[in-house]
Amino acid sequence: MNQLEILAPCGGMESVQAAVHCGADAVYLGAKELNARRNAANFDEAELNEAAAYCHLNGVKVYLTLNTVLLDSEFELAGEVLRSACAAGIDAVIVDDLGLVRFVKEHAPNLRLHASTQMSIHNLEGVRMLEELGFHRVVLARELSLDEIRRIAEHTSVELEVFVHGALCMCVSGQCYLSSMIGQRSGNRGLCAQPCRLKFSNGGNENALSLKDLSLIDHIPALRDAGVTSIKIEGRMKRPEYVAAAVKACHNAREGMVDFTLTDQLSDVFSRSGFTDGYLTGKRGPQMFGIRRKEDVLNMTGVLKELGRLAAKETPRVGVSFAFTLKAGQPAVLCAADADGNRASAAGDIPEKALNKPTDAALVEKSLQKTGGTPFYPENIDCDIDEGLVLSISKINLLRRAVLEDLMNQRSAVHQAEYRPSGQASWPSIQDAPEERPKEAFHWRARYDRFEQVSASALEQLGYFSLPLSECVRLFLSEDMTNEAERFGLPDMRAFLDAYRDQLIIELPRGMFGGNQIIMGQLEKLRERGITHLLAHNLGAVWIGRELNYRLHGGFGLNVTNARSLEVYRRLGLEDMTLSFELSMLQISAMEKHLPAGILCYGHLPMMLTRNCPIQTAMGCKDCGRKFRPLVDRMGNEFPVACENTCAELYNHLPLYIAEQPERFEPLAFATLYFTKEDRARCDELISMHLEHRKTDQPATKGLYYRGVL
C-alpha cells in the first residue's frame, strides 16, 4: 500500500517552507487569479517557479488551484496561468469548472487533473463521471461519513482526497450562494465574505450557520485503511505556524503517534470553540456548531513563537544511497542515488599508502553522514575499500559535496509539461456527441416543490414543469391513488398525471449522499411509466441519468458560467441547461450557447445545501417535512429552511422577480419559476404575471442579474 499523502495549504512562500520542513508530501497553492482563495497572498509566475523548484528539490509535489468557475472573458487569463504552471513543472491542477477541464485538455493534455471539492462530489456516481472524463483524483465533499468514503473507494480506481483539518463551511462546497447574493462576493469565484459566521438565529442557537473547525487527525489511520490517497489540510489564508503545526500533527498521526501537546497547540493557533468530526463519524447535530471566541484568539498568542521554531526547523526529506570505492592505483569514486532515479558520481584523487591509520568504512561513513544544508539524509552507505590506503577526510568531503550538488541540480531541474497554444481536446468517452441543438422558441417552465401547487390551467401554459423525485414516486408509484384524487378534486388522478407526463421533468436532489441504488430503482420504475425527463444538479445525477437513458436537463447546481461548459454538457448528452444565477444578464446575453440555456426567473433561491440542519438544533426533526421554518439574520430577515433527502436547504428571504422586462428573456430558451412555499393560487397568479410581464407589488429582489458578482 502506498504511503498516505499529507497535502498542505500554502498562501505564500513561508508556508511552503513550513510545510516542507514539517513533513508534507505535497502542497497546494494558487496563482494571483482564478483560485478559490483570491484573498490569500498567492504566487506570481516567479514565485511559482521558486516554490516548485524548492518543493521538487525536497521531494514534495506541487498542485496548482484553478478551482473557480470561469466567465467566458477569463479563458485568456486561464491560458496564461496554465502556461506558467506547465513551465514551472507543476504536478497537477485542481479544477472546478468543466469548461476549464476542456481547456486544460486542449492546451496541456498531459497535465494531471484533480477535481476540486467545489465540484460537490459526494457520491460514487459523481466519482465515476469524473473518472470517465479523465480525472486522476477527486477531492470528496467534507460531509461524507467514513463508511460512505470506504464504499466509494471500493468501487473506483481514481485517487481520493479528503479534508482532515481546518475551517468547515456550513454548506456543501460549490453549492453556496449566500455571500454572492448578500454582497456580490461569490464563494464559487474565490471571494466568499463568510456571512454565515454572522448571527443567524433558530430560536436557540444564535450562530446556526457557523460550524466548528474540522479535525480528523485522530482518524487518519482509519482513512488510510478506507482507501484514501491523500489527506488535505485547509488553510491557504492562515499563518505559516498553523501550517507547520497541522502538517506535523498529521505526520505524527500517520506514523501512529499522537502528540497531545501539539494537538493542543493546534487548537490554540486556530479553532472555533474547538473541533468537530461529526460528519466523518455520522454524529451530526448541535454539538458541531461553534464560533471564534475571545479565548480562542487569546490562546493563539502564546503558541505562535514556539510553532515558529517548528516551522523554521529544516529536516532532511530525501533519502540518498552512497557507494564509495577506494582502490590502489585508481581515483577514489563516490556515487549517490535517490529514490526518484537521479544518479551522480564524482572521481577524486588516487589514494596513497597509509603510513599509520588507513581510511576505513567507519571514517567514510562519518564524512558521508554530514549532509546538513541539503535536503538529503544518508539512507544507505556501501564502501569498497582496499586495505592499507588513505584518502584525507577533506577530499572525501569534496566528493560528498560534489555528488550532492549534482543531485540537487537534477532534482531542481524543471520538467515542463507540454503547453499547446492551441490544440484538440481528447474526450474518449464522449466523442460521439449529439449534434448541436438548434435554438428553440422561448418557453416558460415551473419547478414545483409539491404536487398540491400544480393546476391544469397552469400546465397548459408551460413548456415543461418539474417535481422532486419524492413527489413523482408518491404520485406515480403509489398503489392507491383514491385519497390523492379526493385531495386534489380530480376524478381520475392517473389520467391527469399521464396527460402531462411528457411535460414532466423529475428533479433529483442536489444532495445525494448514499442511497442512490434506491433512487435508481425508483427511476427505472418511473421510466417504465413513460416519464423520460430528468433534471440533474450534480455530476452523480448526470451519470445516473445517462445510465438509465433519461433525457437530461442541467440544473443550476452544476454552476455553468461559460460557453465551454455548455459544450461539454452537450457532449455528455444533456438537452438544455439552467445557467448559474450568479451571472449577469449581460454575460448571459453575450454567451455563445452550444446548448439551449435558461435561467431561474422567480423564486426564493436556494442559498445553501447543508447536511447539518440549522433548524434541528432548536426544533428537532420530528414531523419537520418541508415546512420552511425560518432562520432569522441579524437584520430580522427570515430565511426559510426545508429538508429533503437527509439534507437541508436554506432559501433567500426575498423572492427573485424580473418578469417586467420581456427583452431580457430574448437570448434564452426558457425561464423557470422556482416555487417553494407558495400555495396553488399564488403559483397560478405568478405564472400569469410572467406571461403578461407585469410588475410585482410584493417585496422582491432582482438577484445578481443586474449586479453580477466580483
Amino acid found at 275 = F
The pLDDT assigned to 488 comes to: 73
| Percent of the chain as helix, strand, coil, to the nearest 5 | 35, 20, 40
Cell numbers placing 292: 471564534
Give residue 2's pLDDT band: very low, low, confident or very high (50, 70, 90). low
C-alpha distances in Å from residue 217, one per residue of 127, 238, 261, 279 = 24, 18, 14, 14
Long-range contacts of 338-345 (CB under 8 A, 24+ apart): 338/59, 338/376, 338/407, 338/411, 340/59, 340/411, 342/407, 342/410, 342/411, 344/402, 344/403, 344/404, 344/406, 344/407, 344/410, 345/403
C-alpha distances in Å from residue 84, one per residue of 177, 257, 705 = 31, 39, 34
Instruction: Assign 337 to helix, strand or coil.
Output: strand
Q: What is the Cα–Cα distance from 227 to 250, expressed in whole angstroms? A: 17
Q: Which residue has the higher pLDDT, 492 or 65?
A: 65
- Is there a common fold for 5-168+211-312 and 441-691? yes
Distance of CA 35 to the CA centre of its chain: 11
Residue 323: beta bridge partners?
335, 382
Identify which of 577, 586, 639 has the alpha carbon closest to the alpha carbon of residue 614.
639
Q: What ranges do the domains of the chain cover?
A: 5-168+211-312, 318-412, 441-691
Identify which of 11, 6, 9 has the alpha carbon closest to the alpha carbon of residue 24.
6
Question: For the residues of 221-278, what is the DSSP string, one character each?
Answer: HHHHHHT--EEEE--TTS-HHHHHHHHHHHHHHHTT---HHHHHHHHHHS-SSSEE-H
Kindly tell me the sign of the dihedral angle through the C-alpha atoms of 689, 694, 698, 701.
positive
SS in 3 state form for 381-412? EEEEECCCEECCHHHHHHHHHHHHHHHHHHHH
Q: Are 573 and 554 in contact (CB under 8 A)?
A: no
Identify which of 207, 203, 171 has the alpha carbon closest to the alpha carbon of residue 630.
203
Identify which of 698, 699, 680, 687 has the alpha carbon closest to the alpha carbon of residue 659.
687
C-alpha torsion 367→369→373→376, nearest 10: 130
Instruction: Assign 117 to helix, strand or coil.
Output: helix
Q: What is the Cα–Cα distance from 466 to 577, expressed in whole angstroms? A: 14
> H or E segment at 606?
strand 606-610
Cell numbers placing 475: 404520485
Percent above pLDDT 90 for the chain: 76
* pLDDT tens figures, 192-207: 999 999 999 998 889 9
Q: Looking at domain 5-168+211-312, which of 3.20.20.70, 1.10.3720.10, 3.65.10.10, 3.40.50.1100 is its CATH number?
A: 3.20.20.70
Question: Among 83-87, 288-292, 380-384, 550-554, where is mean pLDDT lowest?
Answer: 288-292
CB-count burial class (<10 Å; 0-12, 13-18, 19+) for 130: buried
Quick one: DSSP state of residue 211? B
Q: Are 201 and 631 in contact (CB under 8 A)?
A: yes
Overall average pLDDT of the 555-575 stretch: 96
* pLDDT tens figures, 381-439: 999 999 999 999 999 999 999 999 999 999 998 888 889 887 666 555 555 566 766 66
Give residue 510's pLDDT band: very low, low, confident or very high (50, 70, 90). very high
Give residue 301's pLDDT band: very low, low, confident or very high (50, 70, 90). low
Give residue 265's pLDDT band: very low, low, confident or very high (50, 70, 90). confident
CB-based contacts of 1: which residues, under 8 Å, 6+ apart? Answer: 224
Angle at 637 between CA 635 and CA 639, to 5 degrees: 135
* pLDDT tens figures, 130-183: 999 999 999 999 999 999 999 999 999 999 999 999 999 999 999 999 999 999
| Crossing angle for the helix pair 393-412 and 45-57, to the nearest 10 degrees | 130
Q: Which residue has the higher pLDDT, 617 or 467?
A: 467
The domain made up of 441-691 is a member of CATH 3.20.20: yes
**Up-side HSE of residue 163: CA atoms within 13 Å toward CB?**
26
* pLDDT tens figures, 610-624: 999 998 755 556 666
Identify which of 448, 538, 511, 554 has the alpha carbon closest to the alpha carbon of residue 650.
511
